[in-house]
Chain A
Amino acid sequence: MRHVIGWLLLTPAAILLIAFTYWPIGATVADSLFSRGNPIRPSRFIGLENYALMADDPIFWQVLWNNALFALGTIPASITLALLMALMVNRALPGRALARMAFFTPTILPMIAVANIWLFFYTPDIGLIDQIAGLVGLPGHNWLGDPDTVLGAIIVMTVWKEAGFFMIFYLAALQTIPPELWEAARLEGAARWTYFRRILFPLLMPTTLFVLINAILNSFKLVDHLFILTKGGPDNASNLLLYYIFETAFSFFDTTYAATLTVVLLALLAVLSLVQYGVLDKRIHYR
């Protein structure tokens, strides 16, 4: 009787999870094993052919590489910046509330709005960056139109957007660390850097793990800005995996290939979370 009630209590959550998470995952995996159907030739089972196609697709590899660069460019930078900002506004500082608010503002803006703001920054010649560069005599540059700078431009914008959000978590964690720890370390002759490296940073590790997971997920999840800024261009130089999936499914209407790409994305995220929880978690001190 008890376990019947237990299952009943689990049912609402289970229904939601199955309907919106597990069933779609299963359906996606199944779809990826079929050919693209059309009125003349209906969809049929083709095994791993879609995956073979994907392995030969140069755009897929470029998009994957772009995404790796995007992750490497955004994750360490936004986390480091978040920690620095949190350390800064955790101290007594004139205008502290204002500084905290300023750092957090990018977080409350929708990504679409952020993209529009940065579009104004990046616009050649009349944009903010080129206007300032013009004041010191530098030539204008089409930041979003040049395949060499477009990904960098998007990375900078994403770091700006994310760092403030992560800062809030670091700030909350810093507030729980008793100030006597610094005083005790200081009496022992520890410099600020030693204290940070040996005491503060290890104590912030649970927060860092949480932030890291979010940052990694976001590096695959955040594509809203691409719609406004570049549409993945020029020549796929700023295309990311999720945006490529969207294009494949809703611009090229190749749903089975989109499903194949989605399976890759899911597999990537699953491996990353395994690494995070399996390896890092064991080495972190939780209070």
Chain B
Amino acid sequence: MSAIAVEGLVKRWDGHAAVDGVSFAVPEASLTVLLGPSGCGKSTILRLIAGLETATDGTVTIGGRDVTRLDPAKRGVSMVFQSYALFPHLSVAENILFGLKVRRVTKAERVRRLETAARMVGLDSVLERKPASLSGGQRQRVALARTIVAEQPVCLMDEPLSNLDAKLRAEMRDEIRRLQRALGLTMVYVTHDQTEAMTMADAVVLLNAGRIEQQGPPPLLYERPATAFAARFIGQPPMNLLRGPTPGTLLGVRPEDVALNGSGRPARVEALDYLGAETLLRLSLDGEEIIARAPGRAAPQPGDAVRIAWPAEAEHHFEDTGIRRDGGQT
């Protein structure tokens, strides 16, 4: 009843298209991540689904109902903002219950929902405090509790973790995923962080300049990138893109597929990035840079000549327009 379908969505400002004909579907009770660099239109799409912006063209359906022109409050969505949008003069409890009071939910029901939500996100002890006296993680939890008590079937998240430090981010990632599953929420999650996308998503929609580059489950995006952009954007370090065997083509190889052995093509070690569990070797191969990933501490030193090779099935071929040659699924 809460599946989302976006069809041919366009948002134009003064002739510039921030979102340029985007279509995707989010099945009920699943988590779809909108991923892309800044300015790719991912937040705008989220705001169009929420109804905070008006679409220039295209439709948004939620649970089979066309909501493209519907008031945001009537769409059955809740939203977590990047800044959390907490009301600074209200206590945590009042912040969580604001929407329920507006919607005239009974007192008994409000108390019940507040208790449940506070327990789920671990805010029981700070309900009377003001947002200013909370840590970043706690503020994030207040924003989550607000969406929990709303009991809306759809939850929209706009870069909810970008204001947190790395350790907390990993924790909250798990927590959001756990909540989404426990409550059966249909969630659209916007981020520019591929780790969040890869670890949390049922499906990823990768965006660039207002258009979809590729969509699908995370392994598909990693293993069969449909475009050179997808190949470079997903994976850390990104995929190596070299001149292809025929003119006007690109050859992509993941760093972990590049093996150092005695029989491959000759290359020279330019620099090493030692990361503990692995080492990234920055090599030059016929005047092009290529990164190889070796486990542990690598033996070669900068300046050494090495030979490298990769299996044929690890190669990805792209036209110089960026499109995958063997028909990547977009």
Instruction: Give A contacts to B, CB under 8 Å.
Output: 178, 180-181, 183-190, 194, 198-199, 202-203, 285, 287
Cα(A199)–Cα(B79), bound, Å: 18
Chain A neighbourhood of B83, CB < 8 A? 178, 180
> Within the complex, what minimum Cβ distance (angstroms) separates B191 from chain A?
17
Q: List 16 extra interface pairs beyond A184-B85, A187-B52, A199-B89, CB under 8 A.
A: A180-B81, A181-B85, A183-B72, A183-B79, A183-B81, A184-B81, A186-B73, A187-B77, A187-B99, A188-B98, A188-B102, A188-B103, A189-B103, A190-B102, A285-B130, A287-B132
Interface residues of B in 2-57 (CB under 8 A from A): 50-52
- The answer to whether residues A187 and B102 also contact, given A178-B85, A180-B85, A181-B87 and a CB cut-off of 8 A, is no
Chain B neighbourhood of A188, CB < 8 A? 73, 98-99, 102-103, 150
A186 touches B52 (CB 8 A): yes
- The answer to whether residues A187 and B73 also contact, given A194-B102, A198-B98, A287-B132 and a CB cut-off of 8 A, is yes
Cα(A48)–Cα(B185), bound, Å: 78
Chain A neighbourhood of B102, CB < 8 A? 185, 188-190, 194
Q: List 23 A-B contacts (CB under 8 A).
A: A180-B83, A180-B85, A183-B52, A183-B72, A183-B79, A183-B81, A183-B85, A184-B81, A186-B73, A187-B50, A187-B51, A187-B72, A187-B73, A188-B103, A189-B74, A189-B102, A190-B102, A198-B98, A203-B87, A203-B88, A203-B89, A285-B88, A285-B89
Cα(A184)–Cα(B99), bound, Å: 9
> Within the complex, what minimum Cβ distance (angstroms) separates A274 from chain B?
24
Cα(A183)–Cα(B132), bound, Å: 20
- Which of A178, A186, A194 has the most chain B CB within a 10 Å cutoff? A186
B78 at the interface (CB under 8 A from A): yes
A199 touches B87 (CB 8 A): yes
Instruction: Give B contacts to A, CB under 8 Å.
Output: 50-52, 72-74, 77-79, 81, 83, 85, 87-89, 98-99, 102-103, 130, 132, 146, 150
Q: Nearest B residue to A188 by beta-carbon distance?
A: B99
Cα(A189)–Cα(B87), bound, Å: 15
Chain A neighbourhood of B98, CB < 8 A? 185, 188, 190, 198
Among candidates B79, B87, B89, B130, residue contacting A187 with C-beta atoms closer than 8 Å: B79
Chain A neighbourhood of B52, CB < 8 A? 183, 186-187
Chain B neighbourhood of A185, CB < 8 A? 98, 102
Chain B neighbourhood of A194, CB < 8 A? 102
- The answer to whether residues A189 and B73 also contact, given A184-B79, A194-B102, A198-B98 and a CB cut-off of 8 A, is yes
> Within the complex, what minimum Cβ distance (angstroms) separates A183 from chain B?
5
Chain A neighbourhood of B74, CB < 8 A? 189
> Within the complex, what minimum Cβ distance (angstroms) separates B82 from chain A?
8
Chain B neighbourhood of A186, CB < 8 A? 52, 72-73
Chain B neighbourhood of A287, CB < 8 A? 88, 132
B85 touches A189 (CB 8 A): no
Cα(A189)–Cα(B76), bound, Å: 10
Q: Nearest A residue to B132 by beta-carbon distance?
A: A287
Chain B neighbourhood of A181, CB < 8 A? 85, 87
Chain B neighbourhood of A199, CB < 8 A? 87, 89
> Within the complex, what minimum Cβ distance (angstroms) separates B256 from chain A?
41
> Within the complex, what minimum Cβ distance (angstroms) separates A201 from chain B?
10
Cα(A202)–Cα(B94), bound, Å: 14
Q: Nearest A residue to B95 by beta-carbon distance?
A: A184
A189 touches B99 (CB 8 A): yes
Chain A neighbourhood of B50, CB < 8 A? 183, 187
Chain A neighbourhood of B78, CB < 8 A? 187
Cα(A184)–Cα(B96), bound, Å: 12
Chain A neighbourhood of B150, CB < 8 A? 188
Cα(A197)–Cα(B72), bound, Å: 20
Chain B neighbourhood of A190, CB < 8 A? 73, 98-99, 102
Cα(A186)–Cα(B70), bound, Å: 13
Q: Nearest B residue to A202 by beta-carbon distance?
A: B89
Q: Nearest B residue to A180 by beta-carbon distance?
A: B85
Cα(A285)–Cα(B150), bound, Å: 26
Chain A neighbourhood of B81, CB < 8 A? 180, 183-184
Chain A neighbourhood of B73, CB < 8 A? 186-190
Cα(A199)–Cα(B272), bound, Å: 55
Chain A neighbourhood of B146, CB < 8 A? 184
Cα(A188)–Cα(B80), bound, Å: 12
Q: Nearest A residue to B81 by beta-carbon distance?
A: A180
Cα(A183)–Cα(B89), bound, Å: 17
Chain A neighbourhood of B72, CB < 8 A? 183, 186-187
Q: Nearest A residue to B79 by beta-carbon distance?
A: A187
> Within the complex, what minimum Cβ distance (angstroms) separates A171 from chain B?
19
Chain B neighbourhood of A189, CB < 8 A? 73-74, 99, 102-103
Chain B neighbourhood of A180, CB < 8 A? 81, 83, 85
> Within the complex, what minimum Cβ distance (angstroms) separates B106 from chain A?
16
Chain A neighbourhood of B79, CB < 8 A? 183-184, 187
